[in-house]
Amino acid sequence: MPRFDRSHTDDLAAFIQASPTPHHACAEAGRLLEAAGFRRLDETDAWPTGPGGHYAVRDGSIIAWRQRADFDAFRIFGAHTDTPTFKVKPNPDTGSAGWKQIAVEVYGGVPHQTWLDRDLSVAGRLVMRDGTEVLVHVDRPLLRIPRLAIHLDRGVNEGQKLNAQSQLTPIWGLGQPREGEFLEFIAAEAGVDADDVLGHDLFAAALDEPAYLGKDEELFAAWRLDNLTSTHAGVAALIAAEDTGTRVPVLAAFNYEEVGSMTYSGAQSPFLESVLRRIVGDEAERYERVIAASAMMSSDTGNAVHPNYPEKHEPGHRPIPDGGPMIKVSANQRYASGAEEQALFRRSAEAAGIPWQTYVNRNDIPGGTTIGPISGTQLGILTVDVGLPILSMHSARELCGAEDPGRLADLALGLFTH
Ligand code: ZN
């Protein structure tokens, strides 16, 4: 029987609002876990060996689990915490023709057009002189990337390519730019002294509130569905997974998926393996036995069939919103989903009592990839790729079915408990 319903999507909306960056997503996930009795562990400390819920955070990635006294396998639900957006450059103050602007770098695969003419804000983290980290979220309109008026750009509807260096620089005021002004503003917003800020990761954030949409409100629109839907589903399922038999349920949500996962905290890093080894303890041979019996589900968003471009989809595999989570299959292992993996997915979905669908790319459109093949290869764990069907992936406003987020949480719970 499914455990999560539409109210899960309301919770997801609140999670998205509280999580404009990977660092905020880890903080919010930590807050929810702690409210359910989980405890944050520091990687530099010795860890407790007794039963209990724990989590660790490393640079925008979070791993949470329920330690058991006796266990023989892990069941891991993987996700990512980052989203394509714009990152503020180290010296951001710039301007042109009487406008103050903020220099930004493109982070990940941003479809430029969807970010134009939107009220944007800034959120991120500051690393202070004393080594502490301060989160900042300016929760009001601050930036805008203005579109060129159609009268000055008669070809706009024939397709327009924007130069990422010169034509995507947001404005944030009028007048002459002054060096240091933006970071002084951000420091004041964060309540810290700008002179003590030694480093920053600051990102443009879409401000529109998540909303239900459609005649019967059967659709759900928000920024960062990719992939806070999976991160939040994993948190909810882990909190609900009180009885998992002899398996340790784990949520692993990584930062930097959108830029290749190659950082000290990303899916290509030893973060997850390090946590799993510490959960098992000193016995090296036992670790190998536990890993051999373990399984992982890597969850991300995927492309629902688009009504205006159905030909872009494989004709026999056209997932629709609210048809349930998809297993993503690729013979070339862009997605990790062979026969054993398919069976793992089916067992989890059947245990959860939810509908499900299959996604396959067209042979002539290779599509994306995700953390599944990376983590599976790193750890040597059976891994299946799954996805939530959405439209407008990587847009500043994505769209999914309103029932599907709860089904994804049920699928994660099915993985943890079946
Ligand atoms: Zn994604």
What is the whole-number distance in angstroms between the Cα of residue 322 and the centre of ligand 1? 18
- Looking at the domain assignment, is residue 1 inside a domain? no
What is the whole-number distance in angstroms between the Cα of residue 42 and the centre of ligand 1? 27
Checking if the pLDDT of 402 tops 90, the result is yes
Q: What is the pLDDT of residue 206?
A: 96
Residue-wise pLDDT tens digits, 312-327: 999 999 999 999 999 9
At residue 197, the 3 state secondary structure works out as strand
What is the whole-number distance in angstroms between the Cα of residue 228 and the centre of ligand 1? 9
Q: What is the pLDDT of residue 418?
A: 86
The reply to whether 265 and 296 lie within a common domain is yes
CATH number at residue 118: 2.30.250.10
Residue 287 parent element (H or E): helix 284-292
What is the whole-number distance in angstroms between the Cα of residue 253 and the centre of ligand 1? 11
- Looking at the domain assignment, is residue 269 inside a domain? yes
What is the whole-number distance in angstroms between the Cα of residue 300 and the centre of ligand 1? 5
Q: What is the pLDDT of residue 405?
A: 98
What is the whole-number distance in angstroms between the Cα of residue 373 and the centre of ligand 1? 13
CATH number at residue 76: 3.40.630.10
Cα first-last separation, the chain: 12
- Looking at the domain assignment, is residue 218 inside a domain? no
Final residue of a structural domain among 156, 175, 206: 206
What is the whole-number distance in angstroms between the Cα of residue 387 and the centre of ligand 1? 9
The reply to whether 257 and 191 lie within a common domain is no
What is the whole-number distance in angstroms between the Cα of residue 301 and the centre of ligand 1? 5
Spatial CB neighbours of 15, under 8 Å, sequence gap ≥ 6: 25, 28, 32, 228, 231, 232, 235
What is the whole-number distance in angstroms between the Cα of residue 393 and the centre of ligand 1? 8
Checking if the pLDDT of 334 tops 90, the result is no
What is the whole-number distance in angstroms between the Cα of residue 398 and the centre of ligand 1? 12
What is the whole-number distance in angstroms between the Cα of residue 81 and the centre of ligand 1? 9
The reply to whether 385 and 242 lie within a common domain is yes
Residue 154's pLDDT band (cuts 50, 70, 90): confident
> Which tokens sit at 107?
């982070």
What is the whole-number distance in angstroms between the Cα of residue 384 and the centre of ligand 1? 15
Burial 253-272 (b: 16+ CB within 10 A, else e): bbbbbbbebebebbbbbebb
Final residue of a structural domain among 162, 181, 206: 206
What is the whole-number distance in angstroms between the Cα of residue 415 and the centre of ligand 1? 20
Checking if the pLDDT of 367 tops 90, the result is no
Residue-wise pLDDT tens digits, 222-247: 999 999 999 999 999 999 999 899 99
The reply to whether 41 and 90 lie within a common domain is no
Q: What is the pLDDT of residue 372?
A: 80
Final residue of a structural domain among 180, 206, 232: 206
The reply to whether 295 and 368 lie within a common domain is yes
Place of tokens 């997503």: 25
What is the whole-number distance in angstroms between the Cα of residue 31 and the centre of ligand 1? 23
- Looking at the domain assignment, is residue 214 inside a domain? no
Phi, psi of 404 (to 5 degrees): -65, -35
- Angle, helices 6-17 vs 22-35, to 10°: value is 130
DSSP 190: H
Q: Are 145 and 169 in contact (CB under 8 A)?
A: yes
- Looking at the domain assignment, is residue 115 inside a domain? yes
The reply to whether 302 and 368 lie within a common domain is yes
Residue-wise pLDDT tens digits, 241-294: 998 999 999 999 999 999 999 999 999 999 999 999 999 999 989 999 999 999
Pick the more confident residue, 408 or 283.
408
- Looking at the domain assignment, is residue 211 inside a domain? no
What is the whole-number distance in angstroms between the Cα of residue 255 and the centre of ligand 1? 11
| Residue from 20, 38, 73, 5 nearest 235 by CA | 38
The reply to whether 230 and 371 lie within a common domain is yes
What is the whole-number distance in angstroms between the Cα of residue 227 and the centre of ligand 1? 5
What is the whole-number distance in angstroms between the Cα of residue 141 and the centre of ligand 1? 26
What is the whole-number distance in angstroms between the Cα of residue 396 and the centre of ligand 1? 13
Residue-wise pLDDT tens digits, 1-44: 899 999 999 999 999 999 999 999 999 999 999 999 999 999 99
- Angle, helices 6-17 vs 225-240, to 10°: value is 120
What is the whole-number distance in angstroms between the Cα of residue 127 and the centre of ligand 1? 27
Q: Are 15 and 9 in contact (CB under 8 A)?
A: no
What is the whole-number distance in angstroms between the Cα of residue 224 and the centre of ligand 1? 9
Pick the more confident residue, 156 or 36.
36
Checking if the pLDDT of 377 tops 90, the result is no
Q: What is the pLDDT of residue 30?
A: 98
* Residue-number span of the structural domain to which 101 is assigned: 85-206
What is the whole-number distance in angstroms between the Cα of residue 226 and the centre of ligand 1? 5
| Residue from 206, 259, 292 nearest 19 by CA | 206
The reply to whether 176 and 295 lie within a common domain is no
Average pLDDT over residues 340-364: 93
Q: Are 168 and 145 in contact (CB under 8 A)?
A: yes
When the pLDDT of each residue in the chain is averaged and rounded to a whole number, the result is 95
Q: What is the pLDDT of residue 167?
A: 94
The reply to whether 250 and 379 lie within a common domain is yes
> Which tokens sit at 140?
């009001």
What is the whole-number distance in angstroms between the Cα of residue 102 and the centre of ligand 1? 27
DSSP 394: T
Residue ranges with CB less than 5 Å from ion ligand 1:
226-227, 300
- Looking at the domain assignment, is residue 240 inside a domain? yes
The reply to whether 158 and 306 lie within a common domain is no
- Looking at the domain assignment, is residue 410 inside a domain? yes
Q: What is the pLDDT of residue 313?
A: 92
Q: What is the pLDDT of residue 169?
A: 97
Checking if the pLDDT of 376 tops 90, the result is no
DSSP calls for 99-153: EEEEEEEEESS--GGGGBT--EEEEEEEEETTS-EEEEEEEEEEEBBPPPPGGG-
The reply to whether 244 and 202 lie within a common domain is no
What is the whole-number distance in angstroms between the Cα of residue 408 and the centre of ligand 1? 14
**For the chain, what is the radius of gyration of the CA atoms?**
22
Total-model pTM: 0.97
The reply to whether 260 and 384 lie within a common domain is yes
Could you give the number of structural domains in the chain? Answer: 2
What is the whole-number distance in angstroms between the Cα of residue 287 and the centre of ligand 1? 30
What is the whole-number distance in angstroms between the Cα of residue 150 and the centre of ligand 1? 33
Residue 182 parent element (H or E): helix 181-190
What is the whole-number distance in angstroms between the Cα of residue 225 and the centre of ligand 1? 8
> In the β-sheet with 120-128, what is the strand arrangement from edge to edge?
133-143, 120-128, 197-206, 85-96, 99-107, 171-174
Average pLDDT over residues 297-306: 96
